[in-house]
Structure 1
Amino acid sequence: MKTYYLSFILMFFTIILCGQENIYKLDITKGENRSIDSWLKAGGENSDGLRLGVNSLFWTKDGKPWLPIMGEFHFVRYPQKYWEDELLKMKAAGISIVSVYVFWVNHEVTPGNYNWKGNNDLRQFLKLCKKHELFVWLRPGPYINAEAKNGGFPDWINKKGKRSNAPWYLAASKKYYIEVAKQTKGFYFKDGGPIIGFQVDNELAHDTKKTHLTSLLNMAKELGMITPFYSATNNSKHFYEKGDIIPMQGAYPYRGWMEPEPTIDFLYSTDEWGAMKNIGGLPYDGTKFPRGMCELGVGCWQSYNNRFVVPSYDSEGHAQNALGRGINLMGYFMFQGGTQKEGYQGNNHPLNYDFQAPIGEYGQIRDSYKKIKVIHNFITDFGSELATMQPARVIQPIKDPTDVKTLRYVGRFKDEKGFLFLTTTQGWVDMKPQENVQIELKLKGEKLLFPEAPITIKENTSPIFPINLDINGAQLKYATAQLLAKVEGNNGVPNYFFFKLPGVNPEFAFNDNTFKKLTSTAETINKNGRTYIKPVPGMGQTIEIIDNNGKKAIIVVLTREQAEQSWRLHYKGKERLFLSNANLLIDKGHLELFSESNKMNLLTFPAIDNKLNSVRSKNNGVFSEHVFETPETNLDIKINKKSTNNWVFNTPKKLPKHVRNIFAYVDYIGSKAGILENGKNYSDDFFNGTIWDIGLRRFMNNGRSEITIKISEWDDKVKGIPKNKAPKNDTERKGLIREIKFKPEYTISLGK
């Protein structure tokens, strides 16, 4: 009996001690406290009176804090006919700035002869950006890299003395800049155009004299390329203390240029330590500049020898990590994939420039698009507040990316209000869940234990938790659900949308002295001056709260799946939140749904007054739900199997009615696959164990096209392929096409 009691007591104290070990701490009072200094020589006003600015902490729009989202799109690597479609997809994801390289090598065909037509038509691209109210950050080099031939240089420029103040190189660069200036004339922000930024060169790390960027900057300005902001990649050498160029950061979850290795880009690191590890040090005073990124990777290019698949949860975790550590301009590279023109790709690089981007080489909406769009929806409604919040880090930060035992977390706070960022993601590491997690937050006036009862953060997740959030006058001390959006109903009442995190039950803790009425059918507990609500995610339960001044707000908790199906868009004169199992585009009042299913739903908040011609409609919680259906299409595409690794088929002459694209899904094994259009190389794919998806509509511009899929035999130099995906016999080693499936992408258009 004594042994039994002794064991019981030992077990009891073990539980207590384990619980104490998992109470992490974060001292908000010792967070960053950088002063807001408007010393930078930047900013501008357009002809409509819109002002853009920047200070040492954040960018501004009409004098208000602005946290822009930027995405890279290489127009020369995408068919001109579909540029508008892709720009609308980017805008629907929350992108407000399109960054774009201008490829000197693609435009100057022979010395002095420039091609600005077709897929090279920069002016047309800028017209479309302006039409759809997308800003542009121009990146004309002269040197760009971007896995292009000669790093973007024509052959006659790619010689000794390039990227320096050598007279011949500056003279050649000026001739090129003159042509860029001609194409961009009238499209600068000061003239009412979309171009608000200009990146000078790219990764100029070798200029020890720090003079070349200044030469190029002065040249651009003299030629009339005047923008509110000028930038450089932060590994470029320059006298940044002059305040004329803003250094911009870069980070990738997986790195195609090196062997597989866990990076530090999931550790909420400081700029200084991160730069020391990645680029050898920070070449400027980080406290003087806002944190912006021009190369925030969602995916990355693959080399011939190094293959990988970037999981979408790592893409999300990588983006969340940047936001958590204080980034105030989220600039993705790439956001839109593309195809390199044969002969214009860099050495040992494929024609395929898909980049595992959120939008693929053929316009595919990837899972990563949906995951980071969840973060973008949050930024759309809370970015102006978040931009002013500065990081609060742990005293002993994690510096080992392989550490799976310690919780990774950081805060962004201002005036006791803010957000907690946690992650259990890490490229190239098998992450584990963090169990029994609680965080003690030291604020100026209190110590807040978040949450009241321990929670488990599941592996490969990246939650963001609100702390002391203002809900239209009432104080939400914390929530164990993630904030998604804030949208006003037709009655003017703000609705706050949250979503449930994997393995974490939602709990909302309100400060009782900040509201006079709270109504909910969810489980409710009152204690110690707080009201705790535990709603069930979905449409069934809401929280209605009225603050002490009579202001009303409604809280809705969605599922994670619903959050990934959410679209935060402006439609018919109102800001709205849509939920849909389809993808959405909006073009000045025109709403399009598209999906590989011919049955699509659309939930709208607030409700849309006019009828949407749906098959059926109903109210679903605060949403109005509509179901649409279009006739199913049977595709009759015959395949000529010439050999086990060489299949040929003809595209249809035109797309069937209600179909916007046809995708071919190629299940193959081999070191590489190629696609030929009418016998001419078009693109390729480095096998990484996944199905190759190819959009066919671009091959149907001139009627029927003959498409050939060829698979190369296996090469033992290829690394990174999981064992269960590698060849298992001689037939597979010779290159094998197992199957090609064709699927229509349906479209439903809702009138203007």
Structure 2
Amino acid sequence: MNSRHLSRGGAPWFPIMGEYHFSRYPAAEWREELLKMRAGGVGVVAAYVFWNIHEEVRGRYLWSGDHDLRRFLQLCSEVGLDVVVRIGPWGHGESRYGGFPDWLMAADCEPRTDDPRYLALVRPWFEQIGAQLRGLTRAGGGPIVAVQVENELYDQPGHLLTIKRLARECGIDAPLWTATGWGHAQLPPGEVLPVFGGYSEAAWDTAHDGWPAQSRAHYFFGPGRDDDSIGADLRETGTAPGEATGRPASASGGEEHLADYPFATCELGGGMYTSYHRRAIVAARDLAALAMVKLGSGSSWQGYYLYHGASQKIGELSTLQESHATGYPNDCPVVNYDFQAPLGEYGQFRDSYRHLRLQHLWLATDGAALATMSLVMPDDAPSDTADRASLRWAVRSDGESGFLFVNNHQPVETLPAHDDVRFAITIGGRELLVPSRPVSIPSGGYFAWPLNRPLGGTLLRWASAQVVCVLDGPEPVLVLTQTAGLPVELALDAATVTSVDGPATAARLGDDVVLSALVPGLDCLLRVAAPDGTTTRVLILDEETALAAVRAHVAGQDRLVVCDSPVVPDGDHLVVYGDAPLRVFPPLPVPLGTGRTRPPAPAEVTHLAKAGPPRAPVIDEATGRASAPVDADFDNAAVHHLTVPEEAFDGDEELLLRLDWTGDVGRAYVDGRLVADQFWYGPVWEIGLRRFRDEVVQHGLELRLLPLGPDAPVYLSPEVRRNVGPGGLVELRSATLVPVTRTVLTAAQA
């Protein structure tokens, strides 16, 4: 590791990391979900080890079934994923007491300090974790590449060092040790790598109308890493939730001490949970634009929280979610921890999965080069997060080559289009004018274009298109994609080109050959020959095709599989979730086949009781925030019974119950047991029934839905809030059973 990037095997390494809470997900489904993560371009899995899940009762440790940390790590290794273990002891993760067991909170000690009484309780817990990790650390050939100590501890560097030393004494070890750096955290120098975050929304903010002020900074390029609003609701000092620093990341102060470390992230928002008082919708482009800005700002480690949603456990002694009842500032759902993540609470593929995968495909090809590049800001870069008029752009470069980054998107506050745009960039000893003619950057556009990128024996001066990947083979294929609907042009160094074949118009422009009049798609293929006799093909995709593309080794060759249904490679097989047709490049010698679907069907609904009037708001005295309903409040709910026939299930495939409803809080019970809940925030509520199959077939499912009052002091996205009438509302419009089919396809070897 140096100040710019991480290294692995002596070469620059750009990790893509996604958070997945194994202990909040059925163990029988771990492998399937890990394969989905890998297919999305994730190479490293981050996972909390929640103390209160594994030792809810003091001295009784649970390490089997859904709690089997060792088995989870082994599965990660088997499917080719590295792991960052977040050992705490305090973890947060919207868990009760941040993951501390109740018995620890009642103990005579000062948690999260060097109090010997506290450390004496931590040691046996760490010894248990160490035993689970034995033989699975990197030194033993296992998947663990890093360990994170504590979380959001900002003012005790000595304690972080104590926790690290204690962990090592207990057999926990890794090449990298990390700690969260936000909130101007004081960390022990040289002992841990500071890791950072950034969210497009903040469920920990207040219920004020509008967008959290600090989130704006994440849509401006700049070297700043800290977001001191993360965890501010749990800190005694620092920026309060919703309080703006008034500056974009480019002007963030007090970070000089970070110059010795590469810019690494562990909590780029993969979505956002819903707290009772704040329930925002997070769109796919909000997440992807933020991730692109972090790449343009110097990130050399993209880490997402959450990448995969989950369900909170219900313990033997209590529920295990963060709540006002435990002195925390946010009331969270008892079960739901979907997070609007790229992969949902039941493994659903979200639109953000495709948008982030497109970036990850590029990083798998160019990430090592990008990691070595520095940020170069234009002289006229915006200096205030209130600036919505200036075009936001930056360059990352090593002096010879680089990438041009542009962002014209942010949530809530629409940015204007910019006409007559052309970028002047000095790189490799000359000025590049990109593109050849001025273009209009539309509102919502964001992208990265290559500068002076090698193309076999040819030099690609620039392209007004984004790199997707390079397909390996005797004649490599550079895959590009159109961005923001802009015309695609390629400028090649004329001295390094002997011929270009394909559907393009070529024109000499100074020392370059500019290729234009390109119509992106799977048939837009160029062949570029260099003076040294090498040839490289260039495939230029349209945006929708690129979003549907998966890179896979099929029939003995590196290929792109394009499908509107999700496709997950698994060894020599492709698992297709749905029945959309597959297109493959390069084409296969024999057809690959297609997936299948089963039609959705309405669930049989029996209405048992009408809801009473909306519940009067309850305000938590400590925070001034609205509190969630308690069990007794659901006696006043609308009650529905849903019958689920056995024939709705097929083998071990998922069956989603999709509920189109409006109201305040919904709960779902099977035989009297709470299995799912939702704070209503607009989108359809989905419940995966596979894990409850036998019970739900026998007993059906009971829904209890509370009405939302018109004066409820909760934040809803504006497009949702306008649907709440003057008398409040609760309505179940439809309940549909949607089978999630899985088809395994195998291609014969060519």
1:381: which partner in 2?
A: 365
1:748: which partner in 2?
A: 743
Which of these residues, 194, 199, 220, is aligned with residue 247 of structure 1? 194
The AA in structure 2 aligned to 1:548 is: P
1:440-589 correspondence to structure 2 within 5 Å = 440-443=424-427, 445-489=429-473, 492-534=474-516, 535-571=518-554, 573-589=556-572
Matched residues in 2 for 1:400 and 1:675: separation? 46
Distance 1:721 1:288, change over 3 A: closer
Matched residues in 2 for 1:363 and 1:131: separation? 20
Which of these residues, 213, 216, 222, is aligned with residue 269 of structure 1? 222
Distance 1:629 1:681, change over 3 A: closer
Q: Secondary structure at the match of 1:268?
A: coil
2:705: which partner in 1?
A: 711
Matched residues in 2 for 1:687 and 1:605: separation? 43
Give the C-alpha shift of residue 574 in structure 1: 4.0
The AA in structure 2 aligned to 1:243 is: G
Matched residues in 1 for 2:362 and 2:64: separation? 39
Q: Secondary structure at the match of 2:342?
A: coil
Give the C-alpha shift of residue 274 in structure 1: 5.9
**Native 8 Å contact 2:408 2:444 kept in 1:** yes
1:42: which partner in 2?
A: none
Which of these residues, 647, 662, 668, is aligned with residue 661 of structure 2? 668
Which of these residues, 320, 339, 356, is aligned with residue 340 of structure 2? 356
**Native 8 Å contact 1:568 1:578 kept in 2:** yes
Give the C-alpha shift of residue 425 in structure 1: 1.5
Q: Secondary structure at the match of 2:715?
A: coil
How big is each residue's C-alpha offset from its partner over 1:71-115, in whole Å with a ceiling of 9 and x where there is no partner? 000011111111111111101001111000000011112211111
The AA in structure 1 aligned to 2:728 is: R
Distance 1:247 1:284, change over 3 A: farther
How big is each residue's C-alpha offset from its partner over 1:436-455, in whole Å with a ceiling of 9 and x where there is no partner? 21111123522221112111
Give the C-alpha shift of residue 241 in structure 1: 6.4
**Native 8 Å contact 1:659 1:744 kept in 2:** no
Range with greater deviation from structure 2 (366-375 or 79-88) = 79-88
How big is each residue's C-alpha offset from its partner over 1:318-362, in whole Å with a ceiling of 9 and x where there is no partner? 110111111111111100001112300011111210111110111
Give the C-alpha shift of residue 532 in structure 1: 1.7
How big is each residue's C-alpha offset from its partner over 1:621-666, in whole Å with a ceiling of 9 and x where there is no partner? xxxxxxx253744647422233464322233336655882222221
The AA in structure 2 aligned to 1:172 is: L
Give the C-alpha shift of residue 687 in structure 1: 1.3
1:321-470 correspondence to structure 2 within 5 Å = 321-342=293-314, 343-347=319-323, 348-350=331-333, 351-443=335-427, 445-470=429-454
1:180 aligns with 2:129: yes
Distance 1:631 1:268, change over 3 A: closer
**Native 8 Å contact 1:271 1:286 kept in 2:** no
1:87-98 correspondence to structure 2 within 5 Å = 87-98=34-45
Give the C-alpha shift of residue 498 in structure 1: 1.0
**Native 8 Å contact 1:456 1:503 kept in 2:** no
Distance 1:250 1:558, change over 3 A: same
**Native 8 Å contact 1:148 1:346 kept in 2:** yes
Give the C-alpha shift of residue 276 in structure 1: 10
Q: How many residues align?
A: 677
1:197 aligns with 2:146: yes
**Native 8 Å contact 1:655 1:697 kept in 2:** no
1:602 aligns with 2:582: yes
Matched residues in 2 for 1:573 and 1:61: separation? 27
> Unpaired runs of 5+ in structure 1?
1-53, 615-627
The AA in structure 2 aligned to 1:100 is: A
Matched residues in 1 for 2:562 and 2:527: separation? 21
**Native 8 Å contact 1:78 1:338 kept in 2:** yes
How big is each residue's C-alpha offset from its partner over 1:667-691, in whole Å with a ceiling of 9 and x where there is no partner? 1111122221222111211111221
> Unpaired runs of 5+ in structure 2?
233-237, 240-252, 324-330, 611-637
Range with greater deviation from structure 2 (183-192 or 99-108) = 183-192
Q: Secondary structure at the match of 2:469?
A: strand
2:20: which partner in 1?
A: 73
Distance 1:143 1:255, change over 3 A: same
Distance 1:247 1:744, change over 3 A: same
1:298 aligns with 2:270: yes
Tell me the TM-score normalised to structure 1 length: 0.86
Distance 1:568 1:268, change over 3 A: same
1:228 aligns with 2:175: yes
Range with greater deviation from structure 2 (545-554 or 570-579) = 570-579
1:103: which partner in 2?
A: 50
**Native 8 Å contact 2:422 2:439 kept in 1:** yes
Matched residues in 1 for 2:567 and 2:687: separation? 20
Distance 1:658 1:514, change over 3 A: farther
Distance 1:362 1:433, change over 3 A: same
Matched residues in 1 for 2:226 and 2:152: separation? 19
Matched residues in 2 for 1:395 and 1:529: separation? 27
Q: Secondary structure at the match of 1:601?
A: coil
Matched residues in 2 for 1:87 and 1:723: separation? 34
**Native 8 Å contact 1:86 1:363 kept in 2:** yes
**Native 8 Å contact 1:654 1:700 kept in 2:** no
Range with greater deviation from structure 2 (169-178 or 106-115) = 106-115
Distance 1:543 1:345, change over 3 A: same
- Superposition RMSD on alpha carbons, in Å? 2.3
**Native 8 Å contact 1:299 1:315 kept in 2:** yes
The AA in structure 2 aligned to 1:296 is: L
The AA in structure 2 aligned to 1:299 is: G
Range with greater deviation from structure 2 (439-448 or 509-518) = 439-448
Matched residues in 2 for 1:547 and 1:275: separation? 51
The AA in structure 1 aligned to 2:298 is: G
**Native 8 Å contact 1:674 1:683 kept in 2:** yes
Matched residues in 2 for 1:309 and 1:238: separation? 30
Matched residues in 1 for 2:195 and 2:597: separation? 49
Tell me the TM-score normalised to structure 2 length: 0.86
Q: Percent identity?
A: 29
Matched residues in 1 for 2:184 and 2:429: separation? 44
2:289: which partner in 1?
A: 317
The AA in structure 1 aligned to 2:504 is: A
